[in-house]
Amino acid sequence: DIQMTQSPSTLSASVGDRVTITCRASESISFYLAWYQQKAGKAPSLLIYKTSNLKSGVPSRFSGRGSGTEFTLTISSLQPDDFATYYCQQYNSYFVTFGGGTKVEIK
Amino acid sequence: QITLKESGPTMVKPTQTLPLTCTFSGFSLSTTGVGVGWLRQPPGKALEWLALIYWDDDKRYNPSLKSRLTIAKDSSKNEVVFTMTNMDPVDTATYYCVYIISGRLFDSWGQGTLVTVSS
């Protein structure tokens, strides 16, 4: 199976900060990388698919890039609603796998 | 609007079988390209994909759990049934039902149901 490693596991930031989360795959997954946001006590929701495509309704302050084995999720100006845990997911193979998550906390 | 809701027992004993049902609306599991899947998340831990079923009845399972899992659909009832056998306390988790597009993208999620395994 393809291992997904996210860093950092926790990120402390302030409203207005630019934040970047990294996700690394143990082997190439082409562009088949998605990002999910999970707020406390809620189900995850899809933010970005195929590395850089925002799901309809997702604010443009979110962006994704990368290819192969290294990917990033960037929030250009952190808003109060963005404090949550973020997961990357590879879907290059049928055995989809997730990263361990990055919790974005208020500094 | 797509909605999914998980139902089933909130507690099972070790060695028992967990039956869960996903009841959905807003899409048809007879539509080409569509799928429904199950994932879980132990308290405080990351997400784990378990199983999925597509419109054409193609089924896929997490290889590490495959021997314990079964998934089936009833398109006429808009339901997907999932079972996991031989439950253990480490299987305690919130179980989510998801709507799948583009092969393996989890586009919409149910609210989740917390299942506790305890004697």
CB contact under 8 A, A91 and B111: no
Find, in chain B, the residue whose alpha carbon is nearest to that of A99: B46
Confidence band (pLDDT; 50, 70, 90) for B24? Answer: very high
Give residue B116's pLDDT: 98
Confidence band (pLDDT; 50, 70, 90) for B101? Answer: confident
Q: Return the DSSP state at A92.
A: S
Confidence band (pLDDT; 50, 70, 90) for B87? Answer: very high
The radius of gyration of chain B from alpha carbons, rounded to an integer in Å, stands at: 13
B103 has a pLDDT exceeding 90: no
- A23 or B30, higher pLDDT: A23
Could you read off the pLDDT of B34-64 as tens digits, one per residue? Answer: 999 999 999 999 999 999 999 999 999 999 9
CB contact under 8 A, B103 and A55: no
Q: How many beta-carbon contacts under 8 Å exist across A and B? A: 47
CB contact under 8 A, B46 and A45: no
Give residue A13's pLDDT: 96
Rounded to the nearest 5 degrees, what angle is found at the Cα of B100, between the Cα atoms of B99 and B105? 125
Q: Are strands B59-61 and B48-54 parallel, antiparallel or unpaired?
A: antiparallel
Q: What is the mean pLDDT of residues B9-22?
A: 98
Note every long-range contact of B24-28, with CB atoms under 8 Å and residues 24 or more positions apart, other chains counting: B24/B78, B24/B79, B24/B80, B24/B97, B24/B99, B25/B1, B25/B78, B26/B1, B26/B2, B27/B2, B27/B99, B28/B75, B28/B78
B75 has a pLDDT exceeding 90: no
**Residue A1 to chain B, least CA–CA distance (Å):** 9
B46 touches chain A (CB under 8 A): yes
B69 touches chain A (CB under 8 A): no
The mean predicted confidence, pLDDT, of chain B is 96
Give residue A27's pLDDT: 97
Least confident of A45-54, B85-94, B97-106: B97-106
Give residue B14's pLDDT: 97
**Residue A79 to chain B, least CA–CA distance (Å):** 23
Note every long-range contact of A49-53, with CB atoms under 8 Å and residues 24 or more positions apart, other chains counting: A49/B102, A49/B105
Give residue B76's pLDDT: 87
pLDDT below 70 — which residues of chain A? none
Could you read off the pLDDT of A51-80 as tens digits, one per residue? Answer: 999 999 999 999 999 999 999 999 999 999
